[in-house]
Structures are given as C-alpha cells and as structure tokens.
Amino acid sequence: MKTETIAIHSGNIILSATGDVTPAISLSTTFTRNEEGGYTGGHMYSRVSNPNRNALETVLAALEKGEEACAFSSGNTAGMTLFQALDPGSHIIAPDDMYWGFKKQLQFIFKDTLTIDFIDLTDATAIEAHIKPNTVMIWVETPSNPLLKITDLTAISAICKKHQLMLACDSTFASPCLQNPIALGADVVMHSTTKYIGGHSDVLGGALITAKKDAFWEKIRNIQQIGGAVSAPFDCFLLLRSIKTLAYRMRGHCANGMALAQFLEKHPQVEAVYYPGLPSHPQHEIAKQQMSDFGGMLSILVKGGAEEASKVVNKVELFAQATSLGGVESLIEHRASVEGPDTKTPQNLIRISAGLEHIDDLIADLDQALRAS
C-alpha cells in the first residue's frame, strides 16, 4: 500500500461493537481479566499498552517501514529513552548541527554515562577517524535543525555496518512522507510527533520506530512501559486523526517551503537561504536521492545582525513569532535567542516553518517585514 492509504487504514483499529468508522478514545487505565487470568482485549494496564497507543504505534511503524514503534509523551522523551537504553560508558557520534534539546540532554543529563563527539556528518569521509572501541551509535538528524544540513544516510549506514554500530535518525523535519531512514539502512528512527505528524500545534508527542525487534528494542520498550512517559489516549487519538491527512499536508508544506526559499534567495535583504530543495544547497544532490520532496522548513540569514533579524520577526503579521514547526500555521523565530547564550547558531538567522496559508500572502508578509528591517 502507498503512504496515503497506510495513513488512513493502518491505525484505524476499531474495537467497539457500534459500527464506528474511526476508533473511540479508550480512557480506561485498567482492563479486566477473564476466568483464565488473561486479558480478552489484549491490554492489562494503560501504562503498558492502550488501544489508542497501540493503533498509533501500528501506523507509525507501517509509515516508516519498521517492525514496531513506541509512542512517548514528547519527542524529547523519545530521544532520551534511546540514550538511556545505551550501556553506560558508551561513546556516540552526533551531528554538530542538531536539535539543541538533544544536544543539551547529551551534554548535561548523560554527561556521566555517555561520551559524545559532535562532528559535521555531511563529510562522511571524516567520520571513521572518530570511531573508538566503545563507539556504539551514530545519531543523525537530517534535515538538521536549524541549518538544514543533509546527511547521506546510505553512506553513514555503510560505515555503521562496517564497524557494527547502530544508526539512529531524527527524521522530524522530513516526516515519514518525505524520507524513510530504515529503508536507507537506519536501525531506529525518531520523530517529534508534535511537529508534522501532529500538524496542528495542539499535541505533544514523540516516537521511536525500529527496523528489528531485537534485544536493544526490548530495552526501549521496557523503559517506555516501566518509566511510563507514554503518549496519553487523547493525544494518540489526535495524532491518529492528524496522520490521515499527513501526506496531503506535506505536499502543501513542501510547495510553500520551496516557493518561499526561491523568493528569499533573490531578496536584497537576505544574505543566505538554507533549504535543501535549492540547487545552491551544498547537499542538494543527496537530498534529491534520499527525500521525495524537501519539506517546509528553511532558515535564512538576514543582512545585518541580531537586531535586523529581530526586527523582521517582530514586523511579520501573518507568521506567528513562536518556536516549533510543522503546524498548519506558519511560524518564524530568531533561533539564537531561543537556544540561549551558548548557541553557535548565527545571530542573524531566522528559522521559518512554512504553513499551509496561500503562498502569495506568506510572500507579501515576509517581503514587507524584510523591507522594513
């Protein structure tokens, strides 16, 4: 089945006898045992499993072409669960440009248990020099946040196979519609489902999807069930509902992202545009190979510094000045001030999440804000 069909049917697991076309929300925290001591509906306690979470995990695994998925209460929890499952003393390789929340987790929460080399993963030839006897995993984020760097998943997967390392990929910016890292050799895929998968800026969630149900995956499932940072039934319901339109929303995000990038690349107030769909992007050819389209995320460098960039984000009228991404409404942010004083993000960088408004209105709004800056 194709993505659009999987998205509508794979998680549509109906348990009620009332002929529902879409699953009901199952709020019960506990489930009755039968005389033999079993659980007729297959669920015992909602921290361990729940019908709505089961449905969400089913569709996420199918969309990412994995064997199984775990749904969590946030993207940060999903990533943290993966890091927790690594043996203490492990070394991992991570990108120099990555979602700052995970960088903070690795630098602060895991500082006594893991060692990390943050390197430029776009240069696959430089990676092997960083592999140590205790290296266990390469963590990739592609496209990356906020510089939209593209990492060649097939090339990194070959390095991982040669050195028996795990390959994990934060694929949040791509969504399962634009790239499937497991098909390119990844062992685990991570999504902040808060973003494109949720798509309406009204639900927080995260997910891990595995290529294989191996011993490492069992550890992840245990941390999910015993740690308990699970996605709540209503959140799972919202995500399931959103997934049904994901492929169609992604087409709009990609079209608007591309049109904004093309417009901004020619704008006199703009110094640089980072968007993998532009031929000027340094990894455009890799993006063309591993992605079916280029997404709705882009960053620009405004001519000037922090002051000029701040003026633009304050002057827009249609774009909401807010962090996050992937919702139907366009967002804009001065990224360095979100990340804090120790950030390496350029002070004149603005990150844009192209929403689903009409492109003419988005362009007109950005144009007036840039001209006023």
- Helix, strand, or coil here: 205? coil
Of 152 and 235, CB closest to ligand PLP: 235
Tell me the closest approach of the beta carbon of residue 190 to ligand PLP, in angstroms. Answer: 7
Name the segment binding ligand PLP (CB under 6 A); options: 72-80, 175-183, 306-314, 351-359: 72-80
Name the segment binding ligand PLP (CB under 6 A); options: 74-82, 107-115, 120-128, 312-320: 74-82
Assess 330 for contact with ligand PLP (CB under 6 A).
Answer: no
Q: How far is CA 282 from CA 144, 186, 285, in A?
A: 13, 23, 8
Token duo for residue 250: 């992604």
Q: How far is CA 217 from CA 222, 247, 356, in A?
A: 9, 28, 36
Of 170 and 293, CB closest to ligand PLP: 170
Tell me the closest approach of the beta carbon of residue 161 to ligand PLP, in angstroms. Answer: 25
Residue-wise over 332-346: b if at least 16 C-beta within 10 A, else e? bbbbbeebeeebebb
Tell me the closest approach of the beta carbon of residue 5 to ligand PLP, in angstroms. Answer: 27
On whether the CB atoms of residues 207 and 190 are closer than 8 A, the answer is yes
On whether the CB atoms of residues 316 and 332 are closer than 8 A, the answer is yes
- Amino acid sitting at position 16: S
Tell me the closest approach of the beta carbon of residue 143 to ligand PLP, in angstroms. Answer: 9
- Alpha-carbon distance 222 to 47, whole Å? 11
Show which residues are catalytic. 47, 99, 170, 195
Tell me the closest approach of the beta carbon of residue 97 to ligand PLP, in angstroms. Answer: 11
Count CA atoms closer than 13 A to 77's CA, side-chain side.
Answer: 20
- Alpha-carbon distance 373 to 25, whole Å? 48
- Alpha-carbon distance 355 to 366, whole Å? 13
Find, among 89, 93, 94, the residue nearest to 134 by Cα: 89
Assess 235 for contact with ligand PLP (CB under 6 A).
Answer: no
- Tell me how many residues contact ligand PLP (CB under 6 A): 15
Residue 245-284 contact track with ligand PLP, rule CB under 6 A, x = bound? ----------------------------------------
Contact with ligand PLP (CB under 6 A) among 58, 90, 93, 99: 99
Assess 347 for contact with ligand PLP (CB under 6 A).
Answer: no
Find, among 93, 253, 71, the residue nearest to 173 by Cα: 253
- Alpha-carbon distance 118 to 110, whole Å? 14
Of 269 and 295, CB closest to ligand PLP: 295
Assess 101 for contact with ligand PLP (CB under 6 A).
Answer: yes
Tell me the closest approach of the beta carbon of residue 2 to ligand PLP, in angstroms. Answer: 26
Of 12 and 323, CB closest to ligand PLP: 323
Q: Which helix (H) or strand (E) holds 19?
A: none
Assess 74 for contact with ligand PLP (CB under 6 A).
Answer: yes
Tell me the closest approach of the beta carbon of residue 303 to ligand PLP, in angstroms. Answer: 26
Residue 147-186 contact track with ligand PLP, rule CB under 6 A, x = bound? -----------------------x-xx-------------
- Alpha-carbon distance 178 to 294, whole Å? 7
Residues 204 to 223 in contact with ligand PLP, rule: CB under 6 A:
204, 206
Binding residues (CB under 6 A) for ligand PLP: these are 74-76, 99, 101, 141, 145, 170, 172-173, 192, 194, 204, 206, 324
